[in-house]
């Protein structure tokens, strides 16, 4: 056991990390920037393992008071038909909307029409975890230092379809491979704020989606850097780990129940836009049963195992061509140790994996109730913006990593699922 809550910190990265140029003209590399961004990890010694850390999230605190304005986006291209919502962090306001999460209100048409800007503020695009949203406490803790008390970042959160009190408006739902909405938001932000450097941050399922997105974009990714926190990486392995233990089945039951609640909230829309069996969904207990009854039927996978293998982001790590930091706790009972692709991180010079020996799943509770994970996240983002010459970061020729980074002929982004009319 780690002594008195002091977690061990370790890194996995290429022996030749991505070279970076500082604004002062000196040189560094991605591994050094990441290591300089990571503070000591001193957690609450009473929460001495991953299960206790994770379960402590049941005791809800208020968390930082982040205010949002929401915008409904029409999906583009049309093959991903439907709508999704994006919540933008804004100064405090007095508007209330009982249909939305706390401190969240819709943009007026007039105000959203004026949102475009030619400023060069850094902008962070965030993806939440399974069944969550912009209101999640772990997410608000992470972005609070960037937007409160003089923080100069612009932040928005892409809510998964049907989450955070958003409506389901088509049969195209979300899954662990659902990169289409974040891609649309990134492209929209690139056009709407042409001078802003864009960054990505994902948690848990959102980390898996973000990793897949960055891998799919490869050398053409519009983001300057990205961070994945608590990524399950290998969904099939993580699923088997959940089924293997009593506590794992408890977590799976909780997540399955949360997903059933989402379906219940959208019962009429699910019946209208899909052929899913609502009554059968209500009889499931565990998350893998939900995926068997919903994700396989919605996306045409023969089994939940086929869905997990196709949606996993462990291979996507090899295709990343922007600075990328992953943060994982080795005692995470949901995004389990066995699923972390250590060797893939060692192969790709654009990626660095940070692990802590303690922390649980998106927990990292410190003495007094604070969280550790916002500090490495914000430190890394601020170092990239304030110290690194972002324009000097160039992708390799033809988007390829050095030959030593890839097995010959291996395509890390080979995918089986297709939506009609899309690539």
Q: Give the catalytic positions in this structure.
A: 204, 332, 361
**Chain centroid to CA 268: how far?**
29
Q: Compute the distance between CA of residue 190 and CA of residue 222 in angstroms, rounded to an integer.
A: 7
Give the list of residues 6+ apart from residue 346 with CB closer than 8 angstroms, or none.
12, 13, 14, 15
Structure tokens at 289: 């049963």
Q: List strand residue ranges (DSSP E) for 65-209, in order.
A: 67-74, 83-90, 104-106, 123-127, 154-159, 198-203
End-to-end CA distance of the chain: 48
190: part of which helix (H) or strand (E)?
helix 180-192
Q: Compute the distance between CA of residue 49 and CA of residue 292 in angstroms, rounded to an integer.
A: 31
**Chain centroid to CA 271: how far?**
29
Give the list of residues 6+ apart from residue 360 with CB closer than 8 angstroms, or none.
47, 49, 50, 51, 52, 53, 54, 56, 329, 331, 332, 333
Q: Which phi and psi (to 5°) does residue 21 adopt?
A: -110, 130
Q: Compute the distance between CA of residue 135 and CA of residue 315 in angstroms, rounded to an integer.
A: 30
**Cβ burial 156-179 (10 Å sphere, 16+ → b, else e):** bbbbbbbbbbbebbbebbbbbbbb
What does 264-326 look like in DSSP terms, one character per residue?
HHTHHHHHHH----HHHHHT--SHHHHIIIIIHHHHT-SSHHHHHHHH--TGGGGG--S-EEE
């Amino acid at each position: 056991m780690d002594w008195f809550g002091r977690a061990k910190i370790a890194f996995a990265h290429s022996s030749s990390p991505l070279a970076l140029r500082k604004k002062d003209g000196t040189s560094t590399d991605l591994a050094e920037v990441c290591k300089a961004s990571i503070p000591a990890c001193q957690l609450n010694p009473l929460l001495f393992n991953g299960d206790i850390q994770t379960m402590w999230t049941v005791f809800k605190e208020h968390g930082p008071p982040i205010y949002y304005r929401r915008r409904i986006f029409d999906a583009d291209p049309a093959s991903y038909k439907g709508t999704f919502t994006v919540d933008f962090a804004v100064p405090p306001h007095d508007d209330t909307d009982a249909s939305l999460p706390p401190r969240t209100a819709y943009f007026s048409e007039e105000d959203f029409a004026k949102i475009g800007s030619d400023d060069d503020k850094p902008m962070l695009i965030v993806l939440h975890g399974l069944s969550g949203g912009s209101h999640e406490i772990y997410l608000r803790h992470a972005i609070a230092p960037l937007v409160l008390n003089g923080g100069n970042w612009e932040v928005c959160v892409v809510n998964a379809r049907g989450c955070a009190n958003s409506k389901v408006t088509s049969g195209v739902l979300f899954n662990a491979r659902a990169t289409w909405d974040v891609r649309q938001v990134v492209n929209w932000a690139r056009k709407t704020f042409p001078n802003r450097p864009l960054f990505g941050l994902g948690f848990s399922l959102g980390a898996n989606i973000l990793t897949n997105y960055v891998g799919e974009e490869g050398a053409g990714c519009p983001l300057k850097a990205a961070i994945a926190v608590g990524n399950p990486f290998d969904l099939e392995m993580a699923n088997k780990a959940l089924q293997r233990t009593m506590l794992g089945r408890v977590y799976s039951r909780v997540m399955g129940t949360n997903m059933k609640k989402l379906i219940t909230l959208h019962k009429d829309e699910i019946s209208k836009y899909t052929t899913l069996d609502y009554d059968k969904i209500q009889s499931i207990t565990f998350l893998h049963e939900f995926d068997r009854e919903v994700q396989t039927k919605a996306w045409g996978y023969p089994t939940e195992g086929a869905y997990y293998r196709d949606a996993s982001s462990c291979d996507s790590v090899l295709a990343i061509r922007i600075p990328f930091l992953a943060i994982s706790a080795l005692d995470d009972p949901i995004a389990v140790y066995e699923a972390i692709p250590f060797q893939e991180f060692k192969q790709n010079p654009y990626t660095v994996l940070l692990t802590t020996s303690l922390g649980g799943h998106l927990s990292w509770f410190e003495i007094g109730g604070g969280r550790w994970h916002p500090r490495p996240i914000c430190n890394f983002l601020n170092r990239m913006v304030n110290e690194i010459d972002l324009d000097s970061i160039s992708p390799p020729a033809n988007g390829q990593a050095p030959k030593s980074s890839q097995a010959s002929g291996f395509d890390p982004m080979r995918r089986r699922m297709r939506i009609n009319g899309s690539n």
